[in-house]
Amino acid sequence: MKATQTLHDLGQSLWLDNITRDILDNGTLQGYINGLSVTGLTSNPTIFDQAIKKSSLYDQTIREKLGQGQSGEALFFELALQDLTRAADLFRPVHDETKGVDGWVSLEVSPRLAYDTKTTLASAKDLHARAARPNLFIKIPGTKEGLPAIEEAIFAGVSINVTLLFSREQYLAAAEAYLRGIERRIAAGLSTKVGSVASVFISRWDVAIASKVPEQLRDQLGIAIAKRTYKAYCDLWETPRWQNIVKAGYNPQRLLWASTGTKDPKASDILYIKALSAPNTVNTMPEGTLKAFADHGEVSGVMPKDGGDCEQVLAQFTKAGVDVDALAAQLQSEGAKSFDDSWTELLGVIASKSAQLQNA
């Protein structure tokens, strides 16, 4: 049995952190679903930037949309929705079979809206309506300004992937926004057909402090943060508020591990996949990491619900001069800027391709 199947059987969903028209057209994505237990997919501006830049498969659609007077962001979202609705249809059987727990794909609102509550909400509603798929998440960053938009979107029936979370505290704030939205739906007697995941980024912690801590602490911070967050997640599942939304018929928001590709060339290429095995969670992984885990991965245990040794490990980082709370805020801010930079680059690629195709 492949390690991917073992991990799936343990109760963790394996999602692919990639989307290109190529893997839709040539059957690669379907192959991952059939052979590697992949049950969902995430995307971001960088992924689409690379996909459109490196492929001619988008050219015909770009020509058509240019002819209809579309350009820039509007043109991009047309391309993204075409890809992601196709992917959503591939995952629809899983979505139906699991009654909405699994089988999701994700599309991000413009990263330029990370600090604009009102416009984020409007964009999320618009994209959700245009996709017209029950298994498409709209990604909203869990920034201070994003949290009210998350609550309102959930209340409005828009399923949300909360992105750019880095710490236990940021996760709990996102979970609170989700809970408030669901509780308002329950009070209003609205449909239970709305879902959510909360995406906690892991590897960026270790990249940020790689040169600042002793060698024996290398590649341990992200996993310790994950364990601390997983404990908070498990504790939350036991609360009356959480149980009430289950009794009302809703699927509770699941914890998702993001940024799980190994960045350290000295470390195992499946470091974070092995360490983050946990039931009732999602791990979205780059294509290379997914294939590496299928090839030589193993599932050796599950994350402890009580956090295990995370607090002792984090205490070692504090002693080494790492301010975890300050770094979490820094990483979220840098993550928002990074996505914004990728968005700018993506729109540049769209503009360049548009000009080339018009001139041709």
Q: What pLDDT is attached to residue 112?
A: 84
pLDDT digits (tens, 9 = 90+) for 213-245: 999 999 999 999 999 999 999 999 999 999 999
**Which distant-in-sequence residues (6+ apart) come within 8 Å of 43 by Cβ?**
17, 18, 19, 80, 83, 84, 105, 106, 107, 108
pLDDT band at 358, cuts 50/70/90? confident
| Predicted pLDDT at 300 | 86
**Could you read off the pLDDT of 79-131 as tens digits, one per residue?**
999 999 999 999 999 999 999 999 999 999 988 887 889 999 999 999 999 99
Q: For residue 339, is pLDDT > 80? A: yes
pLDDT at position 115 is 82
DSSP 338-350: HHHHHHHHHHHHH
Query: SS3 of 94, please?
Result: helix
CA-based torsion, 81, 29, 91, 45: positive or negative: negative
Query: 88, 73, 210: which is closest to 138 by C-alpha?
Result: 88
pLDDT confidence tier of residue 53, bands split at 50, 70 and 90 = confident
The mean pLDDT of 139-168, rounded to a whole number, is 96
Whole-number percent of the chain with pLDDT over 70: 100
Q: Which helix (H) or strand (E) holds 199?
A: strand 196-201
**Beta-carbon neighbour count of residue 150 at 10 Å?**
32
pLDDT band at 49 (very low <50, low <70, confident <90, very high): confident
- Tell me if residue 139 is catalytic: yes
Q: Strands 160-165, 196-201: parallel, antiparallel or unpaired by DSSP?
A: parallel
By three-state DSSP, how is residue 103 classified?
coil
Q: Which pLDDT does position 269 carry in this prediction?
A: 96
Q: Contact, 45 vs 111, CB < 8 A?
A: yes
Distance, CA of 338 to CA of 201 (rounded, Å): 13
Average pLDDT over the chain, rounded to whole?
95
Q: If you average pLDDT over residues 204-218, what whole number do you get?
A: 94
Query: 264, 261, 242: which is closest to 251 by C-alpha?
Result: 242
Which residues are CB-neighbours of 293 under 8 A, at least 6 positions away? 3, 4, 7, 270, 273, 285
Tokens for 342, please give them: 């990728």
pLDDT value of residue 88: 98
Is the predicted pLDDT of residue 328 greater than 80, yes or no? yes
Supply the pLDDT for residue 207. Answer: 96
Residue ranges and CATH numbers for the domains of the chain are: 3-359 (3.20.20.70)
If we measure between CA atoms, which residue out of 281, 309, 330, 316 comes closest to residue 224?
309
Between 353 and 324, residue with greater pLDDT: 324
- How far the first Cα of the chain sits from its last, in Å, is 51
- Structure confidence by residue, pLDDT tens digits, 249-291: 999 999 999 999 999 999 999 999 999 999 999 999 999 999 9
Task: Check 65, 139, 227, 353 and give the catalytic one.
Answer: 139
